[in-house]
């Protein structure tokens, strides 16, 4: 196995045992980026000299006995909404041309303290306001979308140009690209990972989380990220824990909720079959399957848009009025639409969210996790605008992808996307696991147990 193909855990073990040096790992990742980046465009820029310098520093620290833990010397990509002191944070937008961060975001500072090595900033749909990341090609088929808005981070991890990445998730923007590129994506509980220094799309829906190749890797990264920061008003004061899952796969006694409604409606037949097979695997590991009814389904989309659209417009109010021509057309339309949302509509969306949180809490008292598709369809072709369903319904691509991910953003519950299969075209399919607030340990345990039943994941071909 070449170093860039390793999981974070495997690379960390090899580095600690002196079987692999951070410099060798960095060189392998940079060589891989040189090969595939011209086709994929996952990065805004790869900072090769910084990578080599940081890798040498990590190697020297480890040799001197200053080992910082499992992320020390591990190459990563950060979504281009995440501030790194002295580096551009462009949000993949002309609006931010020339902008450089004055200080590290909380998450960048924590990863730096853990010894991780930044390969570069990864592309996002402009200001995270979309689910395709049009600059970036899917790691399995470059003629298809990467998913968004954290498409660059997901593609980098899937292609081997980073061993892990960070994304943000407002309506599914970690889980959607993770599912479409065959990697793991974790949206933590709202407020568990601080957002200070991260460009906002919608402050009451935004989350920061890891994109990795394995569930165990996601747990390692989350352990470094989680913890209170008073500079983020939504940051939780919950105690920091070690999220690494146990090695055993026994799920005896665990209750897995299987939705009767919503999550299996308007879902591609191959996606449904693959996810139901994965759920059967959880049952084979000892879990008990419990049918559940998803509450308030008719209000999910209206609540998501009723919260996100006015909050995004409020964030962009000044630049939307001074330099509107610098926005991409699709983002500008959404920002202008936000000016038409009334205060009454926004307050009704807030009330609906409060009720939805109550109903989800009630449902989650009956089960430990919910298992469902992460996305209703695999990666569509670049430029495709709609998805046609067998009953004659036509759905916009963004609407289709956000439909199954938005509930976790509205309610703030943690959600994990895990690859489970590939369709007939060879495109990845993801299963989504949702849990109780601060229930990351359970989600990661279940996802890790499932992954032990599958052959070792391979990197995307990046053709």
- Strand ranges (DSSP E) for 50-200? 75-79, 117-122, 164-169, 184-187
The residue from 92, 149, 153, 398 that is catalytic is 149
DSSP3 helix / strand / coil % (the chain, rounded to 5): 40, 15, 45
Report the residue count for the chain: 463
- The whole-angstrom separation of Cα 261 and Cα 358 is 18
pLDDT for 96-143, tens place per residue?
999 999 999 999 999 999 999 999 999 999 999 999 999 999 999 999
121 flagged as catalytic: no
Q: Average pLDDT in the 38-51 region?
A: 97
Q: Regarding predicted confidence, which is higher, 196 or 460?
A: 196
- The whole-angstrom separation of Cα 115 and Cα 110 is 9
Count the Cβ atoms, other than its own, within 10 Å of residue 207. 26
422: phi then psi, degrees, rounded to nearest 5? -125, 150
Q: Average pLDDT in the 363-388 region?
A: 98
The three-state secondary structure class of 447 is helix
The residue from 7, 28, 79, 105 that is catalytic is 79
> Given the structure tokens 């057309």, which residue do they identify?
329
462 flagged as catalytic: no
Do the Cβ atoms of 146 and 180 come closer than 8 Å? yes
The three-state secondary structure class of 125 is coil
- pLDDT for 380 equals 98
The residue from 173, 200, 235, 462 that is catalytic is 173
Angle between helices 215-225 and 106-113 (to 10 degrees): 110
Do the Cβ atoms of 145 and 174 come closer than 8 Å? no
Do the Cβ atoms of 396 and 170 come closer than 8 Å? no
pLDDT for 152-196, tens place per residue?
999 999 999 999 999 999 999 999 999 999 999 999 999 999 999
Count the Cβ atoms, other than its own, within 10 Å of residue 23. 18
Mean pLDDT of the chain: 97
79 flagged as catalytic: yes
- Strand ranges (DSSP E) for 189-295? 207-212, 255-259, 288-292
| pLDDT band at 441; cut points 50, 70, 90 | very high
Percent pLDDT > 70 in the chain is 100
Q: Average pLDDT in the 38-52 region?
A: 97
- The reported pTM is 0.97
pLDDT for 9-28, tens place per residue?
999 999 999 999 999 999 99
> Given the structure tokens 């980026």, which residue do they identify?
33
In the predicted structure, residue 462 carries a pLDDT above the cut 90: no
| pLDDT band at 457; cut points 50, 70, 90 | low
Those residues with Cβ within 8 angstroms of residue 411's Cβ, 6 or more apart along the chain or in another chain: 353, 356, 357, 360
Q: Average pLDDT in the 334-342 region?
A: 96
In the predicted structure, residue 279 carries a pLDDT above the cut 90: yes
């Amino acid at each position: 196995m070449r170093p860039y193909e390793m999981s974070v855990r495997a690379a960390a073990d090899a580095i600690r045992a002196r079987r692999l040096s951070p410099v060798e790992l960095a060189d392998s990742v940079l060589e891989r980026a040189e090969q595939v980046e011209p086709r994929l465009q996952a990065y805004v820029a790869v900072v090769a000299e910084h990578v080599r310098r940081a890798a040498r520093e990590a190697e020297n620290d480890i040799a001197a006995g200053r080992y910082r833990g499992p992320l020390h010397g591990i190459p990563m990509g950060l979504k281009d909404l995440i501030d790194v002191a002295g580096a551009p944070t462009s949000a993949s937008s002309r609006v931010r041309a020339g902008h450089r961060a004055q200080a590290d975001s909380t998450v960048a500072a924590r990863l730096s303290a853990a010894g991780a090595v930044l390969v570069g900033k990864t592309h996002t749909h402009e200001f995270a306001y979309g689910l395709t990341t049009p600059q970036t090609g899917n790691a399995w088929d470059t003629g298809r979308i990467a998913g968004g808005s954290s498409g660059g981070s997901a593609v980098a991890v899937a292609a081997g140009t980073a061993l892990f990445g960070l994304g943000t998730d407002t309506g599914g923007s970690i889980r959607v690209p993770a599912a479409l590129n065959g990697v793991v994506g974790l949206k933590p509980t709202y407020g568990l990972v601080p957002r200070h220094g991260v460009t906002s799309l919608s402050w009451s829906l935004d989350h920061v989380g890891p994109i990795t190749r394995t569930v165990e890797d996601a747990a390692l990264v989350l352990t470094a990220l989680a913890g209170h920061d008073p500079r983020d008003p939504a940051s939780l004061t919950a105690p920091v824990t070690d999220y690494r899952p146990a090695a055993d796969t026994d799920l005896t006694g665990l209750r897995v909720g299987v939705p009767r409604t919503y999550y299996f409606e308007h879902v591609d037949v191959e996606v449904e079959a693959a996810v139901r097979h994965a759920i059967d695997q959880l049952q084979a590991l000892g879990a008990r399957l419990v049918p559940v009814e998803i509450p308030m389904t008719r209000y999910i989309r209206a609540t998501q848009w009723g919260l996100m659209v006015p909050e995004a417009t409020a964030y962009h109010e000044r630049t939307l009025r001074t330099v509107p021509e610098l926005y991409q057309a699709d983002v500008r339309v959404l920002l202008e639409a936000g000016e038409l949302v009334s205060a009454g509509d926004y307050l009704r969306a807030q009330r609906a969210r409060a009720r939805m949180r109550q109903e989800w809490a009630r449902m989650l008292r009956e089960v430990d996790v919910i298992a469902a598709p992460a996305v209703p369809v695999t990666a569509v072709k670049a430029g495709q605008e709609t998805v046609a369903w067998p009953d004659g319904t036509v759905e916009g691509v963004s609407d289709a992808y956000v439909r199954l991910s938005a509930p976790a953003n509205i309610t703030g519950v943690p959600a994990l996307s895990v690859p489970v299969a590939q369709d007939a075209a060879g495109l990845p399919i993801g299963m989504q696991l949702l849990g109780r607030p601060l229930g990351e340990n359970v989600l990661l345990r279940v996802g890790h147990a499932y992954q032990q039943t599958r052959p070792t994941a391979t990197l995307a071909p990046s053709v």
